[in-house]
A and B are shown apart, each in its own frame.
Chain A
Amino acid sequence: MLATMKIEEFPAIWYQAANCGGCSISIFNSVSPGIENILIDEIIPGKHINLRFHTTIMAAEGNAAIRLLENSKKDNKDNYILIVEGAIPTAKNGTYGTTVNKDGRRISMATQLQSLAQDASVIIALGTCAAFGGIAAAQPNPTGCMGVDQFLNARRITTPLINVPGCPPHPDWFTGTIASLLLYGLPKPEELDEYKRPKAFYGKPIHENCPRRAYFEEGKFATSFGEPGCLNELGCKGPVTYADCPLRKWNNGINWCIGAGSPCIGCCEPGFPDLVSPFYQKLNATSLPL
C-alpha cells in the first residue's frame, strides 16, 4: 500500500554525541506537527522524513541498532539528512566520548561522526552544542569539544550544514528547517546568517520584539526578580541574542524565559555560555547595539 502512494522518502539519522538529551526532549515537545507525526506521517503531503536511528526512542538495541545505523548510511549514501545533537569531544583522540568496539578497539564519537558526515546530503547541527560547542565546550573545555562546523572544517568535509542552535532549540525551528528542506531543498546562501542559522528564525534580536521593550525606552528597569521593567540591569542578553522567542514563545506558546521574569541568557549565540555570562550581570554598554 505504501509503495503505491509514491511517498518521497527523506532518510534521516539522528546522532547524539556529547549531549544532555535536552534537544531531543525539546523536539518531542513539538505541537503541530506532533512528534508522532514527525516519526510516522508525511509531514508535507507526499513527503516523509524517514528517521531511522535515534537511540533515545528506537526499539532495537545493541548490534541490531548499529546495523540499522550502518545500513541507513550505506543504502542512502549522499542522500540522508544527518541530525547531530551534542558537541564532539576531540581531546586525547576522542577518548572522552566513545560509542562502540570495533576490531577490539573503542571507536570514538569523532571517528563515527566523521564517517556519517561525509556521506550525508545535508547536516543539521541541532542545539548550541552541535552548532557552536555550547556548554560542553565551555572554558576550560576539558574534553576538547567543538561544534560540527569547526569539526568539519578541520577535516575538510564540505557537506552542507545548517545550524539550528538554542539550549535547547525550539521544536518549530527544527520542524521548520526540515519542512523547508523537504519542500525547497537546500537553503539559498541569503537565507542563512553568518553563523549558518536560518534567518527565518534567528533574524532579529530578542530585544527588538520584546514585550518589555517599552520599559527600556522609558528607562524603567527591574532591579530584582519579580519587578516590572526591562531586565537589562538583571543581565538580559536579549539585545545580543538573535531568535524569535518573544513572538513564537515556548511549549505550545505558553511562556518563554522573559515571560517568567527571567532575563534572556543568550543561548542561541556562538558565544554561549562564556561570552554571555555571568548570566545575571548587566551587559557592557559597548556590546549593546543601538
Chain B
Amino acid sequence: MTKIVIEPVTRIEGHLRIEVITENNEIKEARSSGTLFRGLEIILQGRDPGDAPIYTQRICGLCTASHSMASALTLDSAFGIADEIPDNGRILRNLILGAAHIADHILHFYHLAILDYVDMTRIANYDGGDSTLNSIKRLAEADELRLFTAGYEGDYRLSDKANMELVAHYIKALEMRRKAQEMLSIFGGKMPHNMAIVPGGVTATPTTDKMLSFLWRLNELRDFINNVYIPDILTIAEAYSDYFKIGAGCGNLLSYGNFELDDEKRFLNSGTVSTELKLSPLDIDKIWEQVKYSWYASSTTGRQPRQAETKPEPNKKGAYSWIKAPRYDGKAYEAGPLARIMVNYANGNQVVKNLVDSALAQFKLSPKVMFSVFGRHIARALYTKLVADAMPAWLLQLRPEEPAYIKSTVPEQATGMGLIEAARGALGHWIEIKDHKIANYQCITPSTWNLSPKDDRGQPGPMEQALIGTKMKDENTPLEIGRIIRSFDPCLACAVHLITPKGGNIDTLHIT
C-alpha cells in the first residue's frame, strides 16, 4: 500500500491537502479535511441583520455575488418582504448572479482546470505572431516558465495544434472573465464583492444606456462561450474520453434551482436526481449537518441547518476537518452545475435536454456518463451557455428609471432562509433574528456538500467517494487525483486526507 500526499492542491480557491491510500495503483481510501477556519458565522452573531450580505460575500471572493444573493433572499424572507421585491430588483439580481456565474465558470475551466490537460512547455514550438504567446515562448526557451512550470511530465494527449490553441484561449479567457466581471459591475457597482444586492432588491436603478452596455458585453461573452469555450471542452473530452468513466462520485445530485422569474417559478427547477436519472422533489427538512469527524463540539451534531451551531473544537479526537458533513435523507449528495443540469434534464426541460444530448452525440454516449469528471466539465459549460442565452430577454424586461428596491424594517424576532445555486452548486443561508440582531446565521455552501468528510455513520463525502476506486496510471504522476478534484471546482480553503486503513504497511510516497 502507498500513501500519496498532495499539499497544497493548487488551482482551486483555498488551501487543500490530499492524502490517498492506493493498493495495486487503485485508490482504496480517502479522507477530506478543511484546515482553515475563519468563523464568519460566529462573527455575524450580534450584528445588524441588514449587514449580512456584506459579511457573507467575504466568505468567498469567487462565489461572492452568490452569497449576497442567498443572504438577500434570507433577509427578504425574515423581513416579510419576499413577495414585494420590485420586478426591476428581481431582474437586476438575476443579471448580477448570471454575470458572476459566467465569470466563474470561464475562470474555472481555463485558469484552474485546463493545465491538467494542456502542456504549457510545448509553447516552445510556437511560430505565430501573437505577442503574448511569444512572451511565454521566450520564458519556455529560457526554461523559466514560472507559475506555468508544470508539476508533472506524463499523460498529456493533445496534438501540438490543439495544445497551442488552448494556450492562446487561456490568455483570451483572462480577458473574457474580466469582461464578465465588468458586465456585473454595471449594476453591481464593483466586483468582487458587489454593493448593489441588498434585502428589498438592488440599490442601482436601471437606465437604457446601462442596459445597452450590459447587452453588448453579454453578446461578446456569448460568442466566446459558443465558439471557444464549448468547442474547447469537447476537444479535450475527446482526447481524454476515459474521464467519462472516472470520478463518478456518490451518484446523488441535489439542486436548489435558480433565477426567480415573474411567475414565481425558477428558470431552473430544484430537485434531487440519482444515477438512474430518477427525479425527486427537494424536501429541505431532510437536510441534517453532522460533525462527528469535524472539529466542532459533538453536542452540535445531527442538527437541521436552522438550528445548527458553530462551536469550534480544534483538538477534538477523531475529527479531521473544518468542514461539516451535510447529508440529505441520510446520504451524501453532490452539488454543482452537474446537479443543476441533470435535475432539469430529468425534469424534461427541453432546452437542457437538447444541449446535453447534442454535446454527447459526438461521443455516442448516454446521459448516464454525465456522472464523471468530464460530465461535470461539460455540464458547467452548458449551464454557462444556458444562462448567457437567457439573459438578453431578462435584460429587456427591465423598466428604465423605475425602482428596483423596496424599503423594509428589521423585525424584533424572525427566521429566514435563502436557497440558490452559487456557481459551484447549492447554497443555503439561514438566519435567526432576536432583539433586531443576528442571533444565529448558518451557511451550507456547495463545497461543504462536495468536500465534506465522513458523516456520523462513516459514509465518505461526495469527493472522497469520487476518488475511491480510481485506477492510477502512475503513482508518481497522480494526475487523476487533481483531475477528479478540480472537476468539482472546490471553493473553500480546505484540505483533504485519505483514511489510513487498519493494518497493512503504508509507505509515504512524496510526489516530486
* A interface, CB within 8 angstroms of B: 1-3, 16, 18-26, 28-29, 31, 34-37, 39-41, 50-68, 89, 92, 95-101, 106, 135-136, 138-143, 145, 167-168, 224-226, 250-252, 254-262, 265, 267, 273, 277-281
Contact = CB atoms under 8 A, between A and B. Distances in A.
A34 B43 contact: no
Which 10 pairs, one residue from A and one from B, show the smallest C-beta to C-beta distance?
A22-B61, A260-B189, A142-B39, A262-B195, A278-B48, A60-B151, A250-B190, A2-B142, A251-B185, A261-B203
B314 A95 contact: yes
B168 to A, nearest CB: 11
Interface of B: 5-15, 17-18, 35-40, 42-43, 47-48, 50-51, 54-55, 58-62, 64, 107, 111-112, 115, 120, 132, 135-136, 138-139, 141-142, 144-152, 171, 174-175, 177-178, 181-182, 184-196, 198, 200-205, 213, 312, 314-315, 403-405, 407, 482, 493, 495, 510-512
Contacts of A98: 35-36, 495
Contacts of B315: 95
A50 to B, nearest CB: 6
Given A58-B10, A143-B37, 13 more contacts: A28-B107, A53-B147, A55-B10, A57-B11, A57-B112, A58-B11, A61-B151, A101-B7, A143-B38, A225-B203, A226-B205, A226-B405, A259-B189
Contacts of B182: 29, 251-252, 254
Contacts of A28: 107, 174, 177-178
A277 B47 contact: yes
A22 B189 contact: no
B7 A62 contact: yes
Given A23-B61, A142-B39, A63 B10 contact: no
Nearest to A222: B203
A96 B37 contact: yes
Contact of A60 (B10, B177, B184): B10
A224 B482 CA distance: 49
A58 B181 CA distance: 22
Contacts of B184: 251
Contacts of A277: 47-48, 51
Nearest to B315: A95
A151 to B, nearest CB: 16
B10 A97 contact: no
Contacts of A39: 146-147
Contacts of A61: 6, 8-11, 151, 482
Contacts of A279: 48, 50-51, 54
Contacts of A226: 203-205, 403-405
B199 to A, nearest CB: 10
A265 B195 contact: yes
Contact of A62 (B13, B149, B151, B178): B151
A225 B61 contact: no
A248 to B, nearest CB: 11
B51 A278 contact: yes
Nearest to B9: A61
Contacts of A140: 42-43
Contacts of A258: 189
A155 B138 CA distance: 41
A3 B139 CA distance: 10
A31 to B, nearest CB: 7
A31 B182 CA distance: 11
A261 to B, nearest CB: 4
Contacts of A250: 185, 189-191
12 contacts: A1-B141, A21-B60, A29-B181, A53-B147, A56-B11, A66-B7, A142-B38, A142-B42, A255-B190, A260-B189, A260-B196, A262-B203
B405 A1 contact: no
A37 B182 CA distance: 19
A273 B47 CA distance: 11
A62 B17 CA distance: 8
Contact of A257 (B149, B178, B189): B189
Contacts of A20: 58-61, 64
Contact of B132 (A40, A50, A57, A97): A40
A261 B205 contact: yes
B147 A54 contact: yes
A265 B181 CA distance: 20
Contacts of A25: 61-62, 181, 191-192
A281 to B, nearest CB: 7
B203 A97 contact: no
A37 B181 CA distance: 19
Contacts of A67: 512
Nearest to B217: A254
B511 A55 contact: no
A197 to B, nearest CB: 19
B15 A16 contact: yes
Contact of B189 (A2, A34, A60, A262): A262
A262 B38 CA distance: 27
A168 B192 contact: yes
